[in-house]
Amino acid sequence: IILVGTPINDDIANLVVAQLLFLEAEDPQKDIYMYINSPGGMVTAGLAIYDTMQYIKPDVSTICVGQASSMAAVLLAAGARGKRFALPHTRIMLHQPIGSFEGQAADVEIQAKEILRLKEILEDILVTHTGQPHERIKADTDRDFFMDAFQAKDYGIVDGVLEKRGTKVKRGRRG
């Protein structure tokens, strides 16, 4: 079990990557469960976690408890298909990368190009894992886009909403 329960920065990413690699080494056939309750954070740190999730042999099941915003929502969607879940009262939020720059005009231009490149990478990841068309992902991430657990299921970020371990909630009961 891994818990991503804080903002995602380089230190947290290094810990999560180390845990993923350790759990793979312990038993490459056993699913890894990643619980997420995070407001998101640094894109580059999140991409280190994402790449490791895709690299290792075990399936990574993602379960959102509380919130998965920004980069944390990307990680939630990146779990193994059929093994991505949210609890009934979670909140999921997508948006484009945020950055602020200062310095000489040439340096600001370089940073702006890099953030646009990261935006395209995140859009491509979301297209791959949600099945949504690129145009919709681009439009929905232009501003903060909030979803409850059931909307996230309909969107393709998660595969089910869990109330109790192993029990999916039907839409009619909640939402």
Catalytic residue list: 70, 95
The residue among 72, 81, 93, 96 whose CA lies nearest residue 151 is: 93
- In the numeric block, the tokens 């944390």 are attached to 72
Q: What is the 3-state secondary structure (H, E, C) of 138-170?
A: HHHCCCCEEEEHHHHHHHCCCCEEEEECCEECC
Residues 6 or more apart whose Cβ sits within 8 Å of residue 105? none
The dihedral over CA atoms of 129, 130, 131, 135, expressed in degrees to the nearest 10, equals -110
